[in-house]
Amino acid sequence: MRSYKFNRLIPYLLVLPGVTWLTILFLVPLLGEVKTSLEEGSILWGISFTWHWQNYLEALTNFDTVFLRSFVYAALATLLTILIGYPLAYFIVFRGGKWKTLLLFPVIVPFLITYLVRTISIEALFADNGPILGWLKAWHLLPQGSFILGTPAAVVFALAYNFLPFAVLPIYVSLDRIDTTLLRAAEDLFAAPLRVFRKVVLPLSLPGVFAGTLLTFIPASGDFVNAMMLGAPQNQMIGNVIQDRYLVTLDYPLASATSLILMICLVICVAVYSRIFGTEELTG
Amino acid sequence: MIAPASITAPRLKQPSRLGSFLGHHAVTAVALLALTYLMAPIVMMIVLSFNRTEGRFDYVWRGFSLAAWRHPFAVDGLIDALKVSIAIALVASLLATSIGTAMAYAMVRYRFIGRRALDLVLLLTISTPEVIMGSSLLNLFLDVKIPTGPLTLVLSHVMFDIAFVAIVVKSRLRTFDITLEQAAMDLGARGWRTFRRVTLPIILPSVVTAGLLAFMLSLDDFIITMFVSGQTVTFPLFVWGTARIAMPPQIYVVGTSTFVLLTSLLLGNFLFDQRRVRLREKV
Amino acid sequence: MSLSAETRPVPAAPYRDRNQPADPVIKLERVRKAYGNTVVLHELDLDVERGEFLTLLGPSGCGKTTTLKMIAGFETPSAGRILIDGIDVSASPPYSRPVNTVFQHYALFPHMTVFENVAFGPRTTGLNRDLTKERVTHALAMVNMSVHAAKKPGQLSGGQQQRVALARALVNYPKALLLDEPLSALDVNLRHTMQLELKRIQREVNTTFIFVTHDQEEAMTMSSRIAVMNEGYIEQLDTPEEIYLRPKTQFVANFVGRANLLPGQVKARNGGEVMVELDSGGFGPAAAPDAVMPGDRVLLMVRPGQIALLPADQGRLSAHGFAARLRTRDFQGTVFRYALTRSDGREVIATLLPQHQLAGVSIVDEVWITWDAPHAWVVPAGT
């Protein structure tokens, strides 16, 4: 028989590899970022740690419009995904019947294509003479000089598209969990379908909506791929800035500061949002 | 209720033909629109793979052509990039699945200090923007002077895969009947044996799903990969690289092929599961 | 087993409708329900009297729940009509019908408080605030849940949830309250308490209750009338007393209480009694329905509690009945339960009070089984 002491250790042993990995490759790097954000200098002249808070100031002043723009784009994209995703999830759960799980396929399947190829296909869709604009122009429904690429609309649309499953799946789960007897009870108590939705379905699906909005908004605000491929320089998001500073200009301190500001903003957003909605369980 | 005589019957809503027709079909309409919306880029991709292209960036349909399909790997570096991506994804998903499953099991079956904190950290890894994770990882590797390349790629990919695996396996374990494990232990099987003979075979489909998920996430990853790949070129990086210079239709070919392959895998997995359920019902 | 003292429907309805029809409050006319090729209800005719406590009793699959659902509006009849107060509601959705349901697992809205749950119906129909508050408070008081008005269903026990579900339905003054096996999820003691509670409340609010259960004891305790159902038919619709003492079919006899059914033939008839010659030997009198005539094949029904045992020799000489061998004798808490085997191998069960036990009798001995004529009944064979 194993000793009692050993049994007590089992969960810790099981969890150890994961914890180690995550600590070294997630938590430690974040701390490293904090350190870097307070450094000063550049590759050329040498970098030193001097509690250089000016990095933050510089980041905020230089990129304030970009920060704002990123959050606006992310918010719009999130709104769009919810507007599209909720009815879709509702349809699958309540009209799906036997085909319920099968109907999830069309939602998941687009995301089996590489992120980039997906985004490029969207770029192709919205090309100046591509299938959509080309047709509209040929029928003279749009002036010849119209374009979507390079506008905020394109970036927001692409963001919404690329993060759709993150919104749909949590909403699907919370809608699916609703006991159908509750709906019958509401009907029994004189509620017509619209009222049943408003008073029973919607409130009970809110945890899913909450999770969905967070899982969409947060990654979207840090994204740069969509802005890079479909946007013009004036549509650049904060992710582009960070990427640029890190990989192109190699200005690590500034980039780190910018990263951390983004992180802090997101934490604040989530905290405020959670307060409004109450704490929900997001992980399985 | 001993009601006073003044109580009148409640006003009950009679169903209106038009109202219920509209309501019922409005949802369907939106859903269909959403499905069209979802499928549009995919259709675009498939169509463009058959495009006869001229010049570098060609989004205009110039006619049907199988040229790209006949020579899917004609572009320099495409095959190598694919190989690299697949190799890294394989290693990363195998590692992540083992680590993640172990974690999930511990978190569901046991109580230990820091379990809630761990839950939070897992949530953080999923929801932190990749830009932040990528840049901080690069930072780390630079500080510790590890050269960026396949090693750093695997290290990073496993990191974000773990959380997804843990979540999938955790939710499966939650619905797992613990009395089965108790029965096994009652019959003398110790921890590992119970897990290997009883638990694992039953939760295997979920573990496999989690593994596939990790594989796809790793294969597909762009942002974090961009930061920590150094000179190594994975498929997404390759696409990005060529997209800036010229857009060969072969990209669409590879995209379409992976799409068809993965869809069939997913569909197959689903049908196989259905068959298993049906067989079990017969028993 | 208490029998309901009310066998007459109680008049009075809460609505001011001037032209209150004296008709049955709910009428099922030739209602039939089939799912594809499976027929669940065959040509059902049912008149529910205003103010009665009607129970639909039967085994799983007999159609009782389907019937209830059709009255509520969750199922539509394949054929036939459903009328509530004379109005054909067969095609109306549940929210248009003036009846309310208490569901088996209560179906309380988890995101609303007890008060909001009960207020749901009134608010949906647009009742003004003050009146709603008044009615909800009254309803909660009636089920003794006023203290918990601000709690959420998750904080309540099963019994408490059930009472809230009851209040939520009754607050709307439904023309009938439909209860779908509401007590099945409660433990035994709570069940008994709630059975009496429901009876009390039903009398107090003067509302028609239609109750579905498979538990015949429950049905007997609470109902003013019982409809015993089997495989889509109503076998008998009567007061509990009638059903127990004078079942119309073999199924009803067996389903409600334990019955000894002995095949035989009617030899003679004298007023309300007949003399039956039993197939396995012996003969005995019994009360009989008017339609039974000499020559008919019947099943003689004697309840275990109505059997008297005599020593074999004495019985053979002095009483009607027949002989049987004692197989087992157990003490069941209040009575002794005897299992006896007849000459044809069939079993007879008798329950005797301690003071009526037969002395000096042990296993395998022969005893004489007898009964009083008014306490036996015949059921036509082949039903």
Q: Beta partners for C273?
A: C270, C287
Q: How many CB pairs under 8 A join A and B?
A: 260
Interchain contact, C125 vs B7, CB within 8 Å: no
- Judge residue B4's burial from the number of C-beta atoms within 10 Å of its C-beta, 0-12 exposed, 13-18 middle, 19 or more buried: exposed
- Answer yes or no: do A181 and C107 touch at CB < 8 A: yes
Chain C: give the shortest CA distance to residue A94, in Å: 16
Q: Is residue B265 part of a domain?
A: no
- Three-state SS for C127? coil
Cβ B128–A28 below 8 Å, yes or no?
no
Cα B135 to Cα B121: distance, rounded to the nearest angstrom: 18
Is the CB of B1 less than 8 angstroms away from the CB of C92? no
> Running DSSP on this structure, what letter comes out for residue B57?
S
Nearest-Cα residue of chain C relative to residue B14: C96
Tell me the average pLDDT across C193-206. Answer: 90
Tell me the backbone φ, ψ of residue A42, rounded to 5 degrees: -150, 175
Contacting residues of B for C96, CB less than 8 Å apart = 12-15
Contact C371, C307 (CB under 8 A): yes
| Inter-chain CB proximity A181 and C103 less than 8 Å | yes
Closest by Cα among C358, C366, C305, C376 to C340: C366
Say if residue C234 is in the same domain as residue C319.
no
State yes or no: pLDDT of B9 exceeds 70: no
Q: How far apart are CA A48 and CA C123, in angstroms?
A: 68
pLDDT at C3 over 70: no
Contact B2 C17 (CB under 8 A): no
- Helix (H), strand (E) at residue C118: helix C114-124
pLDDT above 50: residue B3: no
Identify the domain containing residue B113 by its residue range: 75-247
* Whether residue C276 sits in one domain with residue C235: no
Taking the CA of residue A193 and the nearest CA in chain C, the distance in Å comes to 9
Domain count, chain B: 1
Q: Within a domain: residue B147?
A: yes
Assign residue B173 the CATH number of its domain. Answer: 1.10.3720.10
Q: Return the SS3 of A114.
A: coil
Residue A207 belongs to some domain of the structure: yes
Cβ pair B14:C16 closer than 8 A: no
pLDDT of residue C77: 94
For residues C67 and C195, membership in a common domain is answered with yes
CA-CA distance, A34 to A36, in Å (whole number)? 5
Q: Is residue B224 part of a domain?
A: yes
Whether the pLDDT of residue B64 is over 90: the answer is no
- Say whether C237 sits in a helix, a strand or coil: strand
Partner-chain contact C74 A184, CB within 8 Å: yes
Instruction: Looking at mean pLDDT, say which of A10-24, A75-89, B133-147 comes out highest.
Output: A75-89
What residues have CB less than 8 Å from C383, skipping those under 6 apart?
Answer: C248, C249, C250, C251
C-alpha–C-alpha distance, residues A243 and B223, integer Å? 9
Could you tell me if residue C204 is inside a domain? Answer: yes
To the nearest whole angstrom, how far is the Cα of A108 from the nearest Cα of chain C?
31
Q: Which of C254, C266, C260, C253 is nearest to C292 (CA)?
A: C266
Domain range for C205 is 26-98+174-245
Interface contact flag, B129 A92, Cβ < 8 Å: no
Residue C363, pLDDT > 90, answer no
Closest approach of chain B CAs to the CA of A185, in angstroms? Answer: 15
> Does C197 share its domain with C277?
no
Compute the distance between CA of residue C320 and CA of residue C281 in angstroms, rounded to an integer: 11
- Per DSSP, the residues of A154-213 read HHHHHHHHHTHHHHHHHHHHHHHTS-HHHHHHHHHTT--HHHHIIIIIHHHHHHHHHHHH
Number of domains in chain A: 1
Residue ranges of the alpha helices (H) in chain B? Answer: 17-49, 67-70, 78-109, 115-127, 130-144, 150-174, 178-186, 191-194, 200-220, 223-228, 235-245, 249-282
Q: Which residue on chain C is closest to A189 by alpha carbon? A: C121
Q: What share of chain A is helix, strand, coil (3-state, %, to 5)?
A: 75, 5, 20
User: What's the domain range around A110?
Assistant: 63-277
Cβ–Cβ below 8 Å for B41 and A122: yes
Chain A contact probe: residue of B45, B125, B135 with most A CBs at under 10 A: B135
Q: Which of A196, A172, A16 is nearest to A93 (CA)?
A: A172
- The answer to whether position A94 is within a domain reads yes
In A, minimum Cα distance to C119 occurs at A189
Condensed to tens digits (0 to 9), the pLDDT of residues A255-283 reads 888 888 898 888 888 888 877 775 444 43
- The closest alpha carbon to C352, from C332, C376, C328, belongs to C332
Asked, for residue C104, whether it belongs to a domain, the answer is no
Q: How far apart are the first and last CA of chain B?
A: 52
Contacts of A129 in chain B (CB under 8 A): 59-60
pLDDT of B8: 58
pLDDT tens column, C147-176: 999 999 999 998 999 999 999 999 999 999
- Same-domain pairing of C238 and C92: yes
Residue C39 lies in a domain: yes
Q: What is the pLDDT of residue C238?
A: 94
Are B125 and A109 a contacting pair at CB < 8 A?
no
A133 falls in which pLDDT band (50, 70, 90)?
Answer: confident
The answer on pLDDT for C383 being more than 80 is no
Interval B190-215: pLDDT, tens: 777 778 888 888 888 888 888 888 98
Q: Which among A224, A88, A69 is positioned nearest to A162, based on CA atoms?
A: A224
Give me the amino acid identity at B271.
L
Task: Specify burial of residue B211 (Cβ count, 10 A radius: 0-12, 13-18, 19+).
Answer: buried
Q: What is the CATH number of the domain that holds C283?
A: 2.40.50.140
**How confident is residue A123, by pLDDT bands cut at 50, 70 and 90?**
confident
Structural contact between residues C287 and C329, judged by C-beta atoms closer than 8 angstroms: no
Question: In this structure, is the dihedral angle defined by the CA atoms of residues B91, B92, B97 and B102, taken in order, positive or negative?
Answer: positive
Is A188 among the domain residues?
yes
Final residue in a domain of this structure, among C202, C218, C245: C245
Q: How far apart are the first and last CA of chain C?
A: 26
Q: Report yes or no on C324 lying in a domain.
A: yes
Sign of CA dihedral B83, B87, B92, B98: positive
Which of B32, B44, B108, B277 is the mutation pick for testing A, counting most A CBs within 10 A?
B44
Q: Could you read off the pLDDT of C269-308 as tens digits, one per residue?
A: 988 899 999 988 888 999 999 888 899 899 999 999 899 9
Q: Does the beta-carbon distance from C105 to A181 stay under 8 Å?
A: yes
Confidence of residue B59 (pLDDT cuts 50, 70, 90): low
- Residue A104: is its pLDDT beyond 60? yes
Q: Which amino acid is at B61?
A: W
Task: Give me the interface pTM, i.e. the ipTM.
Answer: 0.81
Q: Which residue of A has its CA nearest to B15?
A: A192
Nearest CB neighbour to A246, from listed B35, B110, B138: B138
Show which residues on chain B lie within 8 Å of chain C, measured between beta carbons. Answer: 1-3, 5-15
Chains in contact with B, where contact means 3 or more Cβ–Cβ distances below 8 Å, are: A, C
Contact B1/C205, CB-based, under 8 Å?
yes
Give the residue-averaged pLDDT of B217-241.
Answer: 88
Same domain, C201 and C349: no
Q: What is the pLDDT of residues C303-357, one digit of tens each?
A: 998 999 888 888 888 888 888 999 998 888 889 999 999 888 889 999 999 888 8
B-chain residues near C76 (CB < 8 A): none
Q: B31 and A95: CB-CB below 8 Å? A: yes
Closest CA to A168 of A125, A113, A242, A109: A109
Same domain, C93 and C232: yes
Residues 6+ apart with CB under 8 A from B163: B100, B122, B123, B125, B126
Last residue of a domain, one of C188, C222, C245: C245
Who among C96, C109, C169 is closest to A200 (CB)?
A: C109
Angstrom CA distances, A103 to A233, B31, B271, C55, stand at: 39, 11, 13, 43
Residues C193 and C295 in one domain: no
The answer to whether C228 and C58 have CB atoms below 8 angstroms apart is yes
> B276 pLDDT band (50/70/90 cuts)?
confident
Looking at the structure, do residues C184 and C288 belong to the same domain, yes or no? no
pLDDT of residue B10: 67
A281 contacts chain C (CB < 8 A): no
**CA gap C212, A100 in Å, rounded:** 33
Domain termination residue (choose one: C204, C220, C245): C245
Q: Is A87 on the interface with C (CB under 8 A)?
A: no
> What span, in angstroms and rounded, lies between the C-alpha atoms of C156 and A180?
21
**What is residue B262's predicted lDDT score, i.e. its pLDDT?**
80
C308 CA: distance to closest CA in chain A (Å): 51
Q: Do C125 and A204 touch (CB under 8 A)?
A: no
Residue of C nearest to A181 (CA): C107
Do C234 and C90 share a structural domain?
yes
What does the alpha-carbon distance between residue A237 and residue C336 come to, in Å, rounded to a whole number?
A: 87
Q: How many domains does chain C have?
A: 2
Phi, psi (deg, nearest 5) at residue A152: -55, -35
Using an 8 Å Cβ cutoff, are C49 and C9 in contact?
A: yes
Shared-domain flag, residues C297 and C372: yes
* CATH number of the domain that residue A101 is part of: 1.10.3720.10
List subunits contacting chain A, requiring 3 or more Cβ pairs under 8 Å. B, C
Same domain, C263 and C317: yes
Q: Do A185 and C94 touch (CB under 8 A)?
A: no
